[in-house]
């Protein structure tokens, strides 16, 4: 009898959607569309900050915990400032959107780069970012900055 009650409790717990706290449930189609919009806005903001060479803001707002442990803000700013290629625009690739629970997404995007000195020289590259949603006062999607550092290589 106890096993049956435990089973029903767990079933109801999953059905109510509380298991998303543990990353067991993937989002429904409406949540996916909302998350796509949020991810697109976050990546657009990151690209705009990169173009403006505001690397401190990228680090403070969008760096995930692993990136903050790996290098300091000064190291990140210095490494990003040495890059000759700056992003111009991006396009999300819908088929490259992989959810790991509700708060972790691997998102594929094509970013178009141009040379800082020779504006006519450009290329595009497909990059997959790991984005993690953090619920705090800002409710922001944080990204793995290692991929950003290696974006043009």
**89-139: per-residue pLDDT in tens?**
877 666 678 888 778 889 888 888 888 887 778 888 888 889 998 887 677
- pLDDT averaged over the chain? 80
* pLDDT score of 76: 93
* pLDDT score of 96: 73
Q: Which fold has domain 27-149?
A: Nuclear Transport Factor 2; Chain: A, (3.10.450)
* pLDDT score of 74: 94
* pLDDT score of 9: 57
- For the residues of 57-103, what is the DSSP string, one character each? HHHHHHB-HHHHHHS-HHHHHHHHHT-SEEEEEEEEEEEEEEEETTT
* 126 contacts: CB under 8 Å, gap ≥ 6: 93, 96, 108, 109, 110
Q: Are 100 and 23 in contact (CB under 8 A)?
A: yes
Distance in angstroms (rounded) separating the CA atoms of residues 126 and 110: 4
Please state which of the ranges 11-15, 25-29, 33-37 shows the lowest mean pLDDT. Answer: 11-15
* 73: its two tokens: 């803000």
* pLDDT score of 153: 66
| pTM for this predicted structure | 0.75
Q: Given a cut of 50, is residue 18 above it in pLDDT?
A: no
Strands lying side by side in the sheet with 104-115? 85-100, 104-115, 122-134, 140-143
More confident residue, 7 or 147: 147
More confident residue, 121 or 24: 121
Q: Given a cut of 50, is residue 148 above it in pLDDT?
A: yes
């Amino acid at each position: 009898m106890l096993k049956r009650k435990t089973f029903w409790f767990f079933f109801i717990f999953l059905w109510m959607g509380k298991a998303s706290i543990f990353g067991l449930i993937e989002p429904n189609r409406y949540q996916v569309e909302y998350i796509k919009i949020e991810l697109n806005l976050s990546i657009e903001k990151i690209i705009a900050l990169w173009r403006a060479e505001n690397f401190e803001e990228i680090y403070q707002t969008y760096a995930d915990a692993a990136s903050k442990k790996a290098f300091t803000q000064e190291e990140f700013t210095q490494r990003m400032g040495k890059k000759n290629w700056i992003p111009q625009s991006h396009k999300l690739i819908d088929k490259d959107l992989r959810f790991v629970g509700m708060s972790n997404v691997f998102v594929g995007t094509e970013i178009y780069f141009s040379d800082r000195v020779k504006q006519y020289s450009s290329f595009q590259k497909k990059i997959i970012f790991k984005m993690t949603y953090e619920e705090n006062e800002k409710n922001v999607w944080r990204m793995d900055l290692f991929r950003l550092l290696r974006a043009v290589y």
